[in-house]
Amino acid sequence: MGQDEAVELSASTLKAYRTGQRSWRSWASGRGLPEFPARPGDLQQWLGALAEQDKKPGTLRVYHSAVAHWHRDSPGANPAHDPEVLRLLNELADQAAARSGAPDPPDPLRWHHICQIIDTAHKPRRNLPGKRLETASQARHRGDIDIAMIAVAHDASLGCSQILALKWGDVDVFEHGGLGQVRVPNPTAYQPDVAPISEFAAQALARIRPPDADGGQRVFDFSASTVTRCIKAAARAAGIDPANITARSPALGMAQDLADYSAQMLASIQTDR
């Protein structure tokens, strides 16, 4: 991985990605198969072999993401994003869940995942009736909503019901610095009444705010199933396996981002002593 990749990924993610890439390269080289660019069929065999070694679905997804990240600048289509590779990942997860009798927990959407979503959110999709392709303006509008919803859910650690209950009167943007905060609807015992949001999330909300919006109007005026569907679709478009992405995924990602940040700060303090 290059220096730019190391900046955007946390230390723990880098470690996991390097382990996944070593696994793929060792498996491929041991069979005389091309490591880069990989072939989708070879990736399917590798994932199947890992599953036979009782690797958990979460580990398979991390290893798959590692290879996808490694191939993000490869010529042509990313082989890890091949539909058959993604289908196999889902099948292996379903098989593991059937054996264990319990579904996997939701996957987190961390900040580097959200950056991937931002990069792909405005690309037209076949979301319209009859699988018609969106126009550029429709994709821009839909993408702005997806980005705002996922960014504020991440920053403020909002669950699905809280995303849907958020009103424009709950959103404050500070004049200096562009930062903001939201009053958390129905906070749990572990949440503050008011949560800070990044300048990026504040600007994303400002882009979708109607000129005539009043304080009692909902920011995201749709159903719970639509929240999950939109987040899954945004993840899929960004090359992220959507199988275990839920409306809770952005908040889980924020928890992991904060944990990594705290660990890095503690390590920095200890180093300075």
Using the predicted structure, report yes or no on whether residue 205 has a pLDDT greater than 90.
yes
- More confident call, 260 vs 170: 170
pLDDT over 70 at 144, yes or no? yes
CATH number at residue 68: 1.10.150.130
Domain contains 221: yes
Q: What is the four-CA torsion angle of 224, 137, 251, 235, rounded to 10 degrees?
A: 90
Q: Is 267 part of any domain?
A: no
Give the residue-averaged pLDDT of 144-155.
96
* pLDDT computed for residue 6 by the predictor: 40
**Pair 207, 86 in one domain:** no
| 273 domain-assigned | no
Burial of 239-272, coded b for 16+ CB within 10 Å and e otherwise, reads bbbbbbbbbbbbbbbbebbeebeeeeeeeeeeee
Residues 140 and 197 in one domain: yes
User: Structurally, how many domains does the chain consist of?
Assistant: 2
Domain assignment present for residue 32? The answer is yes
Q: Does 71 share its domain with 117?
A: no
The winner for highest mean pLDDT among 27-31, 66-70, 149-153, 239-243 is: 149-153
Beta-carbon neighbour count of residue 137 at 10 Å? 9
Instruction: Write down which residue in 37, 66, 100 finishes a domain.
Output: 100
Query: Residue range 197-223: average pLDDT?
Result: 92
For residue 212, the enclosing domain spans 111-262
Whether 195 is covered by a domain: the verdict is: yes
The answer to whether residue 250 sits within a structural domain is: yes
Same domain, 51 and 77: yes
Instruction: Determine the Cα–Cα distance for residues 61 and 119; give it in Å rounded to an integer.
Output: 21
What six digits make up the tokens of 126? 């076949």
pLDDT the model gives residue 103: 63
Both 67 and 146 in one domain: the answer is: no
Average pLDDT for the chain: 85
Which of 88-92, 180-184, 261-265 comes out lowest in average pLDDT? 261-265
The verdict on 133 and 157 lying in the same domain is: yes
pLDDT at 69: 85
> Taking the model in full, what pTM does it have?
0.61
Q: Same domain, yes or no, for 133 and 211?
A: yes
Specify whether 80 is located in the same domain as 119. Answer: no
Specify whether 148 is located in the same domain as 80: no
Residues 121 and 178 in one domain: yes
Give a yes or no: residue 76 inside a domain: yes
pLDDT tens-digit readout, 21-44: 899 999 998 888 888 888 988 999
**CATH (domain of 160):** 1.10.443.10
Range with lowest mean pLDDT among 2-16, 47-61, 181-195, 249-263: 2-16
Per-residue pLDDT band at 254 (split at 50, 70, 90): very high
Q: Is residue 75 classed exposed, middle or buried when 0-12, 13-18 and 19+ CB atoms within 10 A define those classes? A: exposed
